[in-house]
Amino acid sequence: MLTVDNRTSSDWQDVEIWINQYFRVAVPKIAAKSRFQVPLNAFVSGYAQRFDIRHAVIKDLRLAAKHPDGTPVALKKDMRSGLAALGRKE
């Protein structure tokens, strides 16, 4: 399960979340101060392949969206250094 936590005071619209720049989930909106959860097997490639955590490694996560005024939201988390990278301050 992947959880996206929008801690900002602004909604995110037209959200796309990518695993390894290959598997994607799209959601119309993640409201301000809310969470969105999605199972990893809901991520699908352009060839209709589902992400399978048993056979694939998550190397990076990306989120692209827009604020209500149209300004972009772009987040990237590199997972190559392991899950410990999630807690690291950058």
79 vs 76, more confident: 76
CA distance 83 to 58: 10
pTM score: 0.84
CA–CA distance, 47 with 11 (Å, rounded to integer)? 30
What is the rounded CA–CA span in Å between residue 77 and residue 59?
9
CATH homologous superfamily, domain 2-82: Domain of unknown function DUF5300 (2.60.40.2890)
- Domain boundaries defined on the chain: 2-82
* Spacing of C-alpha 17 from chain mean position: 3
Token readout for 78 is 């590199």
Q: So what's the pLDDT on residue 79?
A: 83
Mean pLDDT, the chain, whole residue set: 90
Per-residue model confidence (pLDDT) at position 82: 54
Stretch 19-45: mean pLDDT, rounded? 97
